[in-house]
Chains A and B, each alone.
Chain A
């Protein structure tokens, strides 16, 4: 325990980076568990004081279009497959993981690309921009967000940075192995290769932490209506008014 980066000797005998120390996986796992457990306890204590909960009945408004829900679940599937196949050999589970790993990686790359294009030209990109107003939101209970809250935007941009790093480094690593599309050249300098492995490892650890946090909040009782909307597409008008500012987000009525 203790080291963050692993080093090795390259072919010339020079010390170069090998990658991240996978001991950190356990550090991340424990840290996330402790933090989420602490959050759950605090929320349980606060829950006694909060009585009113918006109703899920009545008129409904659209929160997520079908295509966006598909994107979300495909991304979740690919990230879950990437984490599972990437971490399995580290924790000692033996199977031919590499082909599944790069296939899941290609799926993630593709849907991320589609999402970027769609969000830039067909979606309300501004609703996801994190501005100064958003940073005041957690400290002022009278301020309600537009479509996305400060936490949701923060999570989105954190996932964006981490996923883009995972994809960029993953594609560079993909070039170093044989695939149906090319034969590897294996010619990247070892010091650069080590940096790529290190960034991939660090972003993987961050992704594990973010995915765990995301799942935790998705199953929190007070957030379940958001999760429902990721399945069914809608939230109730009551839920919308209780959590969002209609002046900043005016969704259309759901069928």
Chain B
């Protein structure tokens, strides 16, 4: 049960559809037994440790329709299995949505970004080590949280919005997409539905065993970025223990429309402080129509941490989020 890595791969039926219809049909027919596989950087850890497994996997990276970046009438559309390296280096993304390019460019390590996909980064599972070690915690369908216990090690865990589970959203690109007001395209054999990036991520109060709004048989197939926030003033920063191959302790993604030093509008989201990317609505409201200044940055920084409920070992996230907001506002 508790972490033992094995060298031999489990006997898993592998499906490699090359067209959209086939992939959706497989997802529908296999249901919860069909593990969706992107770059595998989340999956293989689970399987290798034998803490989660699947009887069948549907590899999505061979579906051309879900790859690549294209310009649309209202922005750009990124195929969900486009690699993070491609996103971070794509001229169109860099030109219009540099925030996402930067966020995608700091995920894990170059090797992981070369195979890791956008959908994989967004839909990856919680990184709480109690959960990843195979303990039967709330998120695993159990009745206890080991991280938020008297001896629990919770340095990386949530300071906002915990509901029994205190794991955080580990994705670097998720807050960037929330800040850019992206729309997720979710496909299934029944059709397609569009969900805003903010609603795509689900907290433990709503669903404690899943971090996204994806239901059985559904696949995240594309992400649409509207021109509304193209070429805004962006700020992205990820604070982690290491510069490479690490998850954020706190990250910030900010998009601001600034005119003559006045912040007309903004969208700011933080990663790794809550189970979902945390949108800083109160900070955005406080910034709206204000002249950008050091005083303003100081003032709104404390708003960002209001309502924080730190655990035993993550009080440091409060000054961290405040300082990141200051830096974002300063620009």
Q: Check A176 against B148 for contact (C-beta < 8 Å).
A: no
Binding-face segment, A72-80, A179-187, A207-215? A179-187
Q: How far, in Å, is B300 (CB) from chain A's closest CB? A: 27
CB under 8 Å from chain B, chain A span 1-21: 8-11, 13, 18-19
Contact with B along A184-202 (1 / 0, CB 8 A): 1111001001100100000
Binding-face segment, B23-31, B139-147, B281-289? B139-147
For the complex, is A50 an interface residue (Cβ under 8 Å from B)? no
Q: Check A194 against B143 for contact (C-beta < 8 Å).
A: yes
Q: Is the interface of A mostly helix, strand, loop or mixed?
A: loop
Q: Check A96 against B205 for contact (C-beta < 8 Å).
A: yes
Task: Please judge, given known A-B contacts A96-B163, A98-B164, A194-B143, whether A186 and B152 are in contact too, CB under 8 Å.
Answer: yes
Residues of A near B207 (CB, < 8 A) are 89, 94
Which of these, B141, B162, B206, contacts A94 with CB under 8 Å? B206
Tell me the complex Cα distance, A31–B309, Å. 45
Q: How far, in Å, is B166 (CB) from chain A's closest CB? A: 10
Contact with B along A157-186 (1 / 0, CB 8 A): 000000000000000000011100001111
For the complex, is B150 an interface residue (Cβ under 8 Å from A)? yes
Residue of B nearest to A10 (CB): B136
Task: Please judge, given known A-B contacts A11-B135, A178-B162, whether A94 and B142 are in contact too, CB under 8 Å.
Answer: no
For the complex, is B254 an interface residue (Cβ under 8 Å from A)? no
Tell me the complex Cα distance, A193–B137, Å. 12
Residues of A near B309 (CB, < 8 A) are 178, 183
Q: Is the interface of B mostly helix, strand, loop or mixed?
A: loop
Tell me the complex Cα distance, A186–B137, Å. 12
For the complex, is B202 an interface residue (Cβ under 8 Å from A)? yes
Q: Check B1 against A9 for contact (C-beta < 8 Å).
A: yes
Tell me the complex Cα distance, A218–B141, Å. 37
CB under 8 Å from chain A, chain B span 294-316: 309
Which of these, B1, B135, B150, B203, contacts A185 with CB under 8 Å? B150
Residues of A near B145 (CB, < 8 A) are 186
Residues of B near A194 (CB, < 8 A) are 143
Residues of A near B148 (CB, < 8 A) are 184, 186
Residues of A near B1 (CB, < 8 A) are 9, 13
Q: Check A8 against B149 for contact (C-beta < 8 Å).
A: no
Q: Check A187 against B136 for contact (C-beta < 8 Å).
A: no
Q: How far, in Å, is B133 (CB) from chain A's closest CB? A: 10
Residues of B near A98 (CB, < 8 A) are 163-164, 205
CB under 8 Å from chain B, chain A span 93-125: 94-99
Residues of B near A94 (CB, < 8 A) are 202, 206-207
Tell me the complex Cα distance, A176–B135, Å. 18
Tell me the complex Cα distance, A20–B144, Å. 15
Residue with the greatest number of chain B CB neighbours at <10 A, chosen from A8, A9, A98, A197: A8
Residues of A near B143 (CB, < 8 A) are 18-19, 193-194, 197
For the complex, is B2 an interface residue (Cβ under 8 Å from A)? yes
Residue of B nearest to A184 (CB): B148
Which of these, A8, A185, A187, contacts B142 with CB under 8 Å? A8
CB under 8 Å from chain A, chain B span 154-194: 162-164
Which of these, A18, A178, A186, contacts B136 with CB under 8 Å? A18
Q: Check B146 against A187 for contact (C-beta < 8 Å).
A: no
Q: How far, in Å, is A6 (CB) from chain B's closest CB? A: 9
List B residues at the A interface (Cβ < 8 Å).
Answer: 1-2, 135-136, 141-146, 148-150, 152, 162-164, 202-203, 205-207, 309
Can you list 9 A-B contacts with CB-CB less than 8 angstroms, sorted by A residue number?
A11-B135, A18-B136, A98-B164, A176-B144, A178-B309, A183-B309, A186-B150, A193-B143, A197-B143
Please provide the 8 A-B residue pairs with the shortest distance between their CB atoms, ordered closest to farther.
A8-B136, A96-B205, A186-B149, A197-B143, A94-B206, A9-B1, A94-B207, A96-B206
Interface contacts beyond A8-B136, A186-B145, A197-B143: sample of 13 additional A-B pairs, CB < 8 Å, sorted by A: A10-B136, A11-B146, A13-B2, A19-B143, A89-B207, A94-B202, A94-B207, A96-B206, A98-B164, A176-B144, A177-B164, A185-B150, A190-B144
